[in-house]
Structure 1
C-alpha cells in the first residue's frame, strides 16, 4: 500500500481562491501584434501584481538603449537566434462540470462574454488549446458515463449503442464557439476510463482493460473522433489513458502499464486510426514527471516510435526537468503539458495561487513543453461539482450562484497566469534562448512569434522587489518587478550583435536526421542531477541512459552470494521489512512505509569485505515506488562513510554502475521527495566475473559532438540517426565499457572535477 501520486490534490474542500481576486472579468484590450502596438525601439509591458490588485494592466513602454554597457548580476539575456520547440498553445479543459456551469448556468450574454474573454485573440486572452475528457472524470455533474454504457453484465462489442449525445447539450456547443472565436484552437482528447464492460470488474472506477476488448476500445476511439469531427470539433491528439499509473475505485480510472500501452497502440489503436483514415496523433503517456521510463519505453522500437507522436505530462509528482531529460534522450519526440491544476495545497492568498500558475507557465516551456494546459476551465464556489475526485482544485474561472439565484463568474490566478502567455504567445511561436535565475528569484521564458515579434515573460518569485536588465543583442532596458509580480514584454525587430553563450548558461547540440530534419539537444548544469554519475579517480563521470539503452562493462557480472547478508533501513512498513529485499522472492518487498523524503536510506551489510562494481535495485512489482534520486556510500566498518561514490535518478530497475570498490557496507540514500513509498523487491550486488563481454560495434548513423558548459563541465553527445541499434565504446577510467543506443536516441557523457 502506498500513497497515490495525486496526493497533493487530496486536501479539505475550501472556498475557491477566486473570491480573493477581481469580482468580474475586465474588458481586456486587444492583443495587437507588437509591430502594431509599439513604436520601434520600445517594448510594450503588461503587468500582473496580485498584491496591488493589478491584473494584465498595460504599462508605459520601456525604451531600448543601444551600446556596450556591461550586464549586471540580474541580467536576463534573450537570444532570438537560438530557437527550440514550436508552441501549440495554452489552455485548460471543459470537463463535464465546467461545460455544465458555463453552458447552463450563465445567461447567453454572460456566456458569450466569458467565451470571448477566454478565447478571442483580439478581445480576450486567446486560449488556444483544450484537453477534452472522453466521458466521465472526477469532475462530472451526474456521476459516471461513457459513450457506450451497458447494463451490468452486458457488453456491446459492435458498439451499436455508441453515442456522443451526452456532449451535444452543453459541451460541444462550447467547443464549437471556442473554435469560432479562435480558429487556431487545438483539441486533444483523453479517456479516464473506457466503458465499464470493456474492463475487469465491469466498472469505470479502477481495474484494467480486458485484452479481448483492445480492438473494441480502438474502434471506440475511432467512432469518437469521427463523431466529433462530424459535429464540427476535430481532435488533433489523443492519449490512450489519463494517468495510467493511477488506479482508484473512487472515480473513473484505469491501470495501463507501459507494456499494455505499447500493445494497445501498436496492434490496435494506431492501425485502426490509419484504417479509418484518421490522422489524429497519439501521445503515448499522460501522467506525471516522476516516471520517465514509461513514455521512453514507447520510443525504443521502430513500431512504437512511428505510432507515438510524443508525451503528455502532468505536474503532480516529480520535477519539470523530466521533460528535458526525456527530450534529450529522444529528441525527435515532443512534450506537451496536458494537465496541471492549481489548488488549495498552494495556499489561499492571491500571491501564492498566482505563484503556482506562473511556475507552470514559465518552466513548462523552458523544459520543452509545446502546450500548457491547466485543468478545469470553470468550477463553482465550492470547487465542484465533483465526482468523488479532487477536493480543493482551482479552476480558471469560478461560476457561482448569487443570493438572488442568478450566477456570475470571476477569474482566478490561473486566468491571469495563462493571460500573461496566451495573449502574447501565438500558436506556432518558437521558444528562444534566455537565462533564468530559478525558483525564489527572477524566472523567465521567451518566444518569437510567427509575425516576427518577441515576447518575454518575467516573474519575480522572490520575496523582495527586484530590479533587472533585459539584454537582447546589443540592446538593453531596465525594469523593476515587485515580489510576486509578472510582466510580459513584447517588441519587434531583428536582433543585432552577438550573445555571450555564458550569459545563457546552456549549450545546444544539433544533429541531423536521415530525412534532413534537426534533432536538437540542449543541456545546462541543472540537468546534472538527472543523470547517473560515478566518482572515477579525481573526476565525476556522468552519463545518460535512455530507456532501451545499456552500458556494459568489459567483463561479465556475477551476483555476490547473499549468505550472511543483513539489511537495515531508516524506516520500514510493519509488513515489509528490509530482509524481504534480499530473500530472493520477487513476491515480497521492503517498503519504506511513508512517502519518500530526503535522507531515507537502505543499507546492506555484506558480512565481510567484498569487491563489486554494480548495485541493482529492482522495484518492478511495485510500479512507481523506485527511489527518486539516490546517492551511494560504502564503508568498511559501518560507521565511517566518506563521500558518495555514485549519484543519480532512480527508475523501476535502478542499475547503479560503480568504480570497482571493496567494502563491507553499502548504503543507498534517497535525496528527493515523493508521495510514493520507496519499495524494493530485490537488491543485488554484482562483481566482475572475468569473462570478456562482446565488443562488437555497429556505429552506422552514430553522430558525436562535444561542447563545454560555462563552468568548465565537458560533455560529449552521441546521437543514433541510423536505421538500427548502435553500439560503441565508452572510456571508463582505466577500462572501456560498451554502450548500446536505440534508434532515435541520444546519450550524453560529462566529466567534471570530483
Structure 2
C-alpha cells in the first residue's frame, strides 16, 4: 500500500469495528453445478443487508429463444481469455500467528477446511506469502538472516527460516493438503537490513554490491520452503517498490534497478540453482504502467519476467487491460487488495470485495488475492502498518480467555467466485451492465461447467436477463447482493458480437501460441488522442515504443516564457518547471482534482507539434488523465486539441499548431500532488530521413467497434524492434514497436 493511501486510511472511519458475520455450516457436498439438471442453473446468493451468506436458492430454468428486450447479460463461452490461477489472501505473520497459536486444534482444522476445501468450504486456491516481516507481524521486524547493527553476512551463513516453522509453514502445508491445487507466490517487503543503505529493514535502498547476495537469499528461501513441503510458484523482487517508508519494512527499487537485479542476478541464480519459479514484476499499483512495461522492452527482461503483479490502491483496474494490450504475451496477477474501515458499513465493504472479484478478472487478472487472511478484532497485530485493514476472517478473544473466529464480507465475496471457479478455468466473454447496475464476470471450468458471478452495485433491485446462445433466463437481484449462477449445459447457437460490446483481435506467435488483444470503447480514454479536422485520432504507445513525425524536432527556446497554475505549493512555484533544472519542480500543493491546470505563455505566437512533461524525479506525481488547450489571447481556449493518460514522462504529440498559450488540464482525482520538473515544447525542424521500415514479425489487422470506432492493430511477433509507417492526419509518421508489443490506432468522429 502506498503512503498516500495509508495516511488516508488512518483518518477514514478509524473507529469502525471489523465487520463480521455468523459462520454457517457450509455444504459438505460438491459445488452445486456438478449436479444441476441440464435445463437449470444453480443460484448462490450473498446479501449482507439480509444477513444472507452464500445461500443456495431455488434453481432457475433456461428458456428457449433470445432474451427479451431489456437489461441483458450475454455470455459467450466460445470466446475464451486468460486461465485463472486462483483466489485467496496472505498468511502474513500476524494472520498465521493468530490462526496457528490462538485457535485450538479443532477450531483451526475447521477454519482451514472452510477456507481451502472446495467441497466443504470456499476453495481458496492462491496464497501470497511474505518473505519475512511486513507491516503485519506479531513480534516486530525479522528477516531470514538478521545480523547485529553494523555487521553483515555476505555468504548467508546464518540464513534460516526457523521463524516460519512454528506456525506459518504448518498452516501452509495444511492448506496444500486440503487443496492440492493451491498456488503460492512469495514477496519480500525488505531484504535483511545489512544489505541496505539504511542498515535496517525500514526504508532505504539496496546497497550497490548486494544484488547477488539478495539473489542468493531468494534461492535459499525457495529451496528451504520446498524442503519444508511448501513449493513456491512465483516470486516478485520487492513489494511496492515505489513506496519507501521508515516506519515498517520497505525498500525503493526503481524499474531500472529491478531490471538489473532480475536480468543480471535473480533470474540467472534461479536457473543455476535449478529453480523454475516464475518472476513477476512490479507488485504495485495500477497508476504507474510504465514500470511493469519497462521490464518487457528488451529481450532479456521479456525472457526473465513472467508477468506483472498488481495492487489496487491507486489508479484504475483498466490499467491491467492497457498493459495486456501493449504486451499481450504477459499475464497479470492481482497480488494485493485490502478492504477496510474506509469503505464504510458492511454493505460498502462487500461492494469493495465484489468490485475486486469481478473487475479484476474482467481486466485479465489470473488471480485475486486480498491481504491479511486473519486479524484480530482491533485489526492487528500490526507492525506500524495499516489502521483499519479488514481481514478475510477475524480471530478474537472471548471473555473466558479462549478465542474464536468469524468471517468478514471478504470471505463471502471471495466465496462467490472461489467455490465455483476452479484453478485452470478460463474467463469467457460477457458484457456488463456497468456501475450502478448489475456487474458480472463469467468462466468455464476444466470440467466444462460455467460460472457467472454477478453483483448489483445499484441502489435498487434490478431485474435482468442472462443470455447464452439461443437460451435465456430472467432474475431479480437485490441492491448490494451478489449471485453466482452455475450450469453444466453447453452453449447452443451463436452470439451477436455487438451484444458483448468488445472485439477480440488474435495474433499468432512463431511458437504457435496466440497473442490475444481485446478492445472496447471504454479504453479510448486510456490512450492519447489528438483532434485533426473532424476526427479524433488515437494511438497506444507501449513503454519502449515511439511515434516520430517525419521532420526533426527542435526545442523552442524558453526566453520570454512565463508559467502559471491553478494552484502551487509555496516551495514549488510554476517557474521552477521552466528553469532548466530537473531537480526543481512545480508542485500543485494538494492532491489532484479534475480541473487543476498548468499553463505556459510562450511570449509570442509559436508553431509547435509536441509537449513533454517530465516528472522523472517525482515518478508518481503525474496527471493521470489530461486535456490540452491552446489560445492566442489566454482567454479563449476553445475545444481541447489533445487528451490522454499521463506517465512519468508524458509526451503529447499534436497536429502542427500555432498559438501563444498552452494549458494542460488534469481530469482525474489522485492523492498524489501533480508535479512537473521540466516542460519542453518542440517545433518541426525541417525534413529528415525516416528510419527504413521493417516488417519482419509485424502482423496487422483492422476491425470496427460496435460504436463505429475504427481500429488498426499492429503486433510485433518478431525477436527485435520493428519500424513501420503510420499515415496520420495527412502526415506519415514512423512507429517503432518493441518485440512482443502491440499498438492500436483508432479513428472516431470529433
TM-score (norm. length: structure 2):
0.99
1:748 matched residue in structure 2: 744
1:546 equivalenced with 2:542 (yes/no):
yes
1:471 matched residue in structure 2: 467
Q: CA offset at residue 10 of structure 1?
A: 3.1
Q: CA offset at residue 406 of structure 1?
A: 1.1
Q: CA offset at residue 302 of structure 1?
A: 0.4
- 1:395–1:414 CA contact under 8 A, matched in 2: yes
Q: Distance in 1 between matches of 2:417 and 2:46?
A: 12
Deviations 1:364-386 (A, max 9, x none): 00000000000000000010000
- 1:17–1:412 CA contact under 8 A, matched in 2: no
1:80 equivalenced with 2:77 (yes/no):
yes
Q: Distance in 2 between matches of 1:574 and 1:493?
A: 65
Question: Alignment partner for residue 483 of structure 1, among 439, 460, 479?
Answer: 479
1:739 matched residue in structure 2: 735
Deviations 1:241-297 (A, max 9, x none): 000000000000000000000000000000000000000000011000000000000
1:508 matched residue in structure 2: 504
Q: CA offset at residue 73 of structure 1?
A: 2.7
- 2:585–2:678 CA contact under 8 A, matched in 1: yes
1:219 equivalenced with 2:221 (yes/no):
no
Classify the secondary structure of the residue corresponding to 1:614.
Answer: strand
2:50 matched residue in structure 1: 52
- 2:130–2:187 CA contact under 8 A, matched in 1: yes
Q: CA offset at residue 695 of structure 1?
A: 3.6
Q: Which runs of no fewer than 5 residues in structure 2 stay unpaired?
A: none
Question: CA separation of 1:521/1:176 partners in 2, compared to 1, >3 Å: closer, same or farther?
Answer: same
2:552 matched residue in structure 1: 556
Classify the secondary structure of the residue corresponding to 1:719.
Answer: strand
Classify the secondary structure of the residue corresponding to 2:146.
Answer: coil
- 1:507–1:524 CA contact under 8 A, matched in 2: yes
Q: Distance in 2 between matches of 1:507 and 1:619?
A: 35
Question: Alignment partner for residue 573 of structure 2, among 577, 600, 606?
Answer: 577
Classify the secondary structure of the residue corresponding to 2:251.
Answer: strand
What is the correspondence of 1:57-206 to structure 2 with a 5 Å cutoff?
57-68=55-66, 70-206=67-203
- 1:17–1:394 CA contact under 8 A, matched in 2: no
- 1:87–1:370 CA contact under 8 A, matched in 2: yes
- 1:328–1:521 CA contact under 8 A, matched in 2: yes
2:4 matched residue in structure 1: 4
Q: Distance in 2 between matches of 1:34 and 1:494?
A: 16
Q: Which runs of no fewer than 5 residues in structure 1 stay unpaired?
A: none
- 2:79–2:429 CA contact under 8 A, matched in 1: yes
Q: Distance in 1 between matches of 2:112 and 2:719?
A: 48
What is the correspondence of 1:229-248 to structure 2 with a 5 Å cutoff?
229-248=226-245
2:709 matched residue in structure 1: 713
1:376 equivalenced with 2:375 (yes/no):
no
1:532 matched residue in structure 2: 528
Q: Distance in 2 between matches of 1:672 and 1:209?
A: 34
1:207 equivalenced with 2:204 (yes/no):
yes
Deviations 1:321-342 (A, max 9, x none): 0000000000000000000000
Question: Alignment partner for residue 261 of structure 1, among 258, 262, 280?
Answer: 258
Q: Distance in 1 between matches of 2:556 and 2:694?
A: 32
- 1:365–1:445 CA contact under 8 A, matched in 2: yes
- 1:548–1:741 CA contact under 8 A, matched in 2: yes
Q: Distance in 2 between matches of 1:36 and 1:325?
A: 36
Q: Distance in 2 between matches of 1:549 and 1:469?
A: 43
Q: Distance in 2 between matches of 1:11 and 1:446?
A: 37
TM-score (norm. length: structure 1):
0.98
Q: CA offset at residue 11 of structure 1?
A: 3.3
Q: Distance in 2 between matches of 1:493 and 1:148?
A: 54
Q: CA offset at residue 692 of structure 1?
A: 1.2
Question: CA separation of 1:383/1:389 partners in 2, compared to 1, >3 Å: closer, same or farther?
Answer: same
Cα RMSD (Å): 1.1
Q: Distance in 2 between matches of 1:327 and 1:691?
A: 36
Q: Distance in 2 between matches of 1:439 and 1:80?
A: 23
What is the correspondence of 1:331-730 to structure 2 with a 5 Å cutoff?
331-347=328-344, 349-730=345-726
Q: CA offset at residue 671 of structure 1?
A: 0.7
1:296 matched residue in structure 2: 293
1:22 matched residue in structure 2: 21
Count, aligned residues: 749
Classify the secondary structure of the residue corresponding to 1:112.
Answer: helix
Q: CA offset at residue 36 of structure 1?
A: 3.0
- 1:631–1:646 CA contact under 8 A, matched in 2: yes
Q: CA offset at residue 587 of structure 1?
A: 1.3
- 1:222–1:273 CA contact under 8 A, matched in 2: yes
Deviations 1:543-588 (A, max 9, x none): 0000000000000010111111110001111110000000111111
Q: CA offset at residue 33 of structure 1?
A: 4.9
- 2:31–2:419 CA contact under 8 A, matched in 1: no
Classify the secondary structure of the residue corresponding to 1:255.
Answer: coil
1:283 matched residue in structure 2: 280
Q: Distance in 2 between matches of 1:407 and 1:430?
A: 40
Q: Distance in 1 between matches of 2:13 and 2:531?
A: 48
Deviations 1:144-177 (A, max 9, x none): 0000000000000000000000000000000000
- 1:31–1:423 CA contact under 8 A, matched in 2: no
Q: CA offset at residue 4 of structure 1?
A: 3.1
- 2:464–2:476 CA contact under 8 A, matched in 1: yes
Deviations 1:674-730 (A, max 9, x none): 111111110011100113142411111100001111100000110000121110001
Q: Distance in 2 between matches of 1:139 and 1:130?
A: 16
Q: Distance in 2 between matches of 1:618 and 1:450?
A: 48
- 1:97–1:384 CA contact under 8 A, matched in 2: yes
Q: CA offset at residue 193 of structure 1?
A: 0.1
Question: CA separation of 1:31/1:613 partners in 2, compared to 1, >3 Å: closer, same or farther?
Answer: farther
Question: CA separation of 1:16/1:161 partners in 2, compared to 1, >3 Å: closer, same or farther?
Answer: farther
Q: Distance in 1 between matches of 2:3 and 2:335?
A: 22
Q: CA offset at residue 106 of structure 1?
A: 0.5
Q: Distance in 2 between matches of 1:71 and 1:511?
A: 35
Classify the secondary structure of the residue corresponding to 1:299.
Answer: coil
- 1:13–1:383 CA contact under 8 A, matched in 2: no
- 1:4–1:246 CA contact under 8 A, matched in 2: no
- 1:99–1:170 CA contact under 8 A, matched in 2: yes
- 1:7–1:675 CA contact under 8 A, matched in 2: no
- 2:18–2:379 CA contact under 8 A, matched in 1: no
